[in-house]
Amino acid sequence: MPAVGSRSSAADAEAARISAAIDEELRQERAARTKRKPKEVKVMLLGQAESGKSTLQKQFQLYYASQSLDHERPSWRPIVYFNVLKALRMILDEIDVSYPQAMHQPSSSGSSSYSPVSTANSTAGVFSFTSPQQSTSPKKLKSKDSQSPPTTVNCPDPNWFPELNYLRSKILPLVASEEALASELSGGITLSGGRTGVYVRTGWQALVTGSRAWPIAGSGSGGGIGSVPRASAVTNIVAKTLQATKDEIYGLWRHPGVLALLRDGKLRLEESASFFLENIHRISEPDYLPVMGMHDLFIVIEYHLIDHNAGLEDILHVRLQTLGVTEHSFDITIGGSQLHWLMYDVGGARGQRHAWVPFFEDARAIIFLAPISAFDQYLDEDPRTNRIDDSLQLFTQIVSNKLLSNAALVLMLNKTDLLKRKLQAGIKVRKFISSYGDRPNNYEEVSEYFRAHFIQVQKRKDVAGRTLYVHFTSMLDIKATQRIIVNVGESILRLHLADIGLA
Ligand SMILES: Nc1nc2c(ncn2[C@@H]2O[C@H](COP(=O)(O)OP(=O)(O)OP(=O)(O)O)[C@@H](O)[C@H]2O)c(=O)[nH]1
Ligand SMILES: [Mg+2]
């Protein structure tokens, strides 16, 4: 049928024209990208969940783009609240389980004196790793290992129950807002099978401070904020409830019954929980804004860091799980050349790792973070796997990955502060890693032992025989981390400039 045939050839011609136009557009885009490319330095932050990737990203942002971090401060406020609510919920949940008696008591006004008491988590476990089952049924540390008070969870003081019941009834309404806050912060995203939590994607700051209900006070502890962003109604309600219950929150956190749960390892809070609860009076101020700054250490309850100073780095302590891959960029000038630094911060949990691969080919450098304090911890996503074992396996996969063979390798053995505190608290590495044997249980020996294992993995498995740059880090120490960032950043940039023939 000729009529159809001519319509068809006209349509074909039109399709060919559109196709050619798209091809041309793609060609131009590719050409533009290739032209831009020498100026781009792509760096990936890799490592297991909670290894400190996002914390390192914040440190880079603090160094290269501190103004942007300053502008983001209001958006961190509900996240800090969320960290507080999550910790409180975990405490109340554990009280329900461990002190059921507290539920059946008339509540008292809880007038206990909350003195700092040492706590310790003791788990038995195993570079030959022992069974994690042992770690989920914690045992008390021997008395020489712990400065614990005489009362333990096994023989709770009956006076605790009316106090705990009172504190619980006061704090429950606040904890009830956790889900609403979580849902708002994560834009309604929930991961099936995951813990209750908040996940961050690129652009989350806009989600949190979008044009919503009321302005955050821009004065007082805030200062230095360019615009006054808005917070949500949920954030507002949580702020007011926090203000009204701050004394009870502090009372619960320092209650001897709660400290006993921590010491006995029944209650395992996230690492930053103690920091936020200890600072609850400052955080619940009406004009509170999260801050970045220096701090002095004040108290250590076992290996939980407690900090009383008022100008503190809340943003660095926040725990906010990364979902997928988030991109951060800074412009950096080095040796007269202006470079565009693109940093990819990834979600480190096992379910998130598949999302890393598409970014591998272009990566100029990998910064791999391994938290060496985690020798006595297991993965949330697989409670049978020791965290150091997972880090080593993951590092093996990264150094042997052919797609990454052109990337420079930087290894950060992180959380050395926490490692020191755990060792000082008497937690024995050989209980969890049997191959540690009878080596001395001090920081110098333990950190060197882990460093040697990671270096050995790289020597054996590296596809490209690269130089491995290794640093011991404590990401919460701004001064020390900033020095390392300059060092690492400049090394990566110089390698890049040398590669593209500009150095
Ligand atoms: N004590 C201590 N805490 C740290 C250190 N580095 C990070 N943290 C804390 O560890 C927690 C987890 O850090 P993140 O940076 O969120 O971990 P991540 O690797 O980005 O985790 P995912 O996004 O889940 O992959 C946060 O509460 C940080 O404040 C460190 O060197 N020492
Ligand atoms: Mg992260």
Q: Of 99, 239, 118, give the one whose Cα is nearest residue 166.
A: 99
Contacts of 83 (CB under 8 A, 6+ apart): 270, 272, 273, 276, 317, 318, 319
- Does the annotation place 416 within a ligand binding site? yes
Q: Between vectors from CA 451 to CA 296 and to CA 386, what angle results, nearest 5°?
A: 85
User: How much distance in Å is there from the Cα of 47 to the middle of ligand 1?
Assistant: 11
Q: Whose CA is nearest to atom 12 of ligand 1?
A: 50
Q: Of 10, 66, 45, 21, give the one whose Cα is nearest residue 292.
A: 66
User: How much distance in Å is there from the Cα of 272 to the middle of ligand 1?
Assistant: 9
Query: Helix, strand, or coil here: 334?
Result: strand
Give dist(CA 378, CA 230) in Å, integer: 39
User: How much distance in Å is there from the Cα of 53 to the middle of ligand 2?
Assistant: 5
Residue 329's DSSP bridge partners are 342
Contacts of 105 (CB under 8 A, 6+ apart): 161, 162, 164, 165
State the pLDDT at residue 122.
30
190-194-195-197 Cα dihedral, nearest 10 degrees: -30
Give dist(CA 459, CA 43) in Å, integer: 22
Tell me how far CA of residue 261 lies from CA of 99, 154, 202, in angstroms: 10, 10, 37
Give dist(CA 344, CA 324) in Å, integer: 10
Averaged over successive runs of 10 residues, the pLDDT of the chain (503 residues) comes to 55 82 76 66 96 94 83 87 94 93 64 36 40 39 33 73 93 91 69 49 51 29 40 88 96 95 90 93 91 48 43 78 89 82 94 93 94 95 95 97 95 97 95 95 98 96 93 92 89 82 64
User: How much distance in Å is there from the Cα of 367 to the middle of ligand 2?
Assistant: 13
Q: What is the DSSP secondary structure assignment for residue 88, as one 8-state letter? A: H
- State the closest ligand 1 atom to the C-alpha of 418, by its place in the atom list counted from 1: 1
Q: Which of 44, 55, 367 to mutate to test the pocket of ligand 1 (most atoms within 8 A of CB)?
A: 55
User: How much distance in Å is there from the Cα of 50 to the middle of ligand 1?
Assistant: 5
Q: Which of 54, 314, 346, 473 to mutate to test the pocket of ligand 1 (most atoms within 8 A of CB)?
A: 54
Query: Helix, strand, or coil here: 311?
Result: coil
Q: For 26-83, give the DSSP string.
A: HHHHHHHHHHHGGGEEEEEEE-STTSSHHHHHHHHHHHH-HHHHHHHHHHHHHHHHHH
State the pLDDT at residue 497.
80
- Does the annotation place 342 within a ligand binding site? no
Q: Is the dihedral of CA 378, 380, 385, 389 positive or negative?
A: negative
User: How much distance in Å is there from the Cα of 144 to the middle of ligand 2?
Assistant: 37
- State the closest ligand 1 atom to the C-alpha of 52, by its place in the atom list counted from 1: 15
- State the closest ligand 1 atom to the C-alpha of 369, by its place in the atom list counted from 1: 19
Give dist(CA 349, CA 246) in Å, integer: 33
Considering every ligand atom, which ligand is closest to the CA of 353?
Answer: 1
List, in order of start, the domains of the chain with CATH numbers.
Answer: 39-69+323-499 (3.40.50.300), 72-317 (no CATH)
Tell me how far CA of residue 90 lies from CA of 240, 253, 280, in angstroms: 21, 11, 16
Q: Of 423, 422, 414, 411, give the one whose Cα is nearest residue 481.
A: 414
State the pLDDT at residue 468.
95
State the pLDDT at residue 479.
85
Q: Of 305, 259, 253, 312, give the one whose Cα is nearest residue 282.
A: 312
Give dist(CA 373, CA 14) in Å, integer: 63
State the pLDDT at residue 342.
93
State the pLDDT at residue 181.
86
| Three-state SS annotation for 365-426 | EEEEEEEHHHHHCECCCCCCCEHHHHHHHHHHHHHCCHHHCCCEEEEEEECHHHHHHHHHCC
Give dist(CA 339, CA 129) in Å, integer: 44
- Does the annotation place 414 within a ligand binding site? yes
Give dist(CA 491, CA 408) in Å, integer: 9
- State the closest ligand 1 atom to the C-alpha of 348, by its place in the atom list counted from 1: 25
Q: Which residues of 357-380 are buried (b: 16+ CB within 10 A; e: fewer)?
A: eebbebbbbbbbbbbbbbbbbbbb
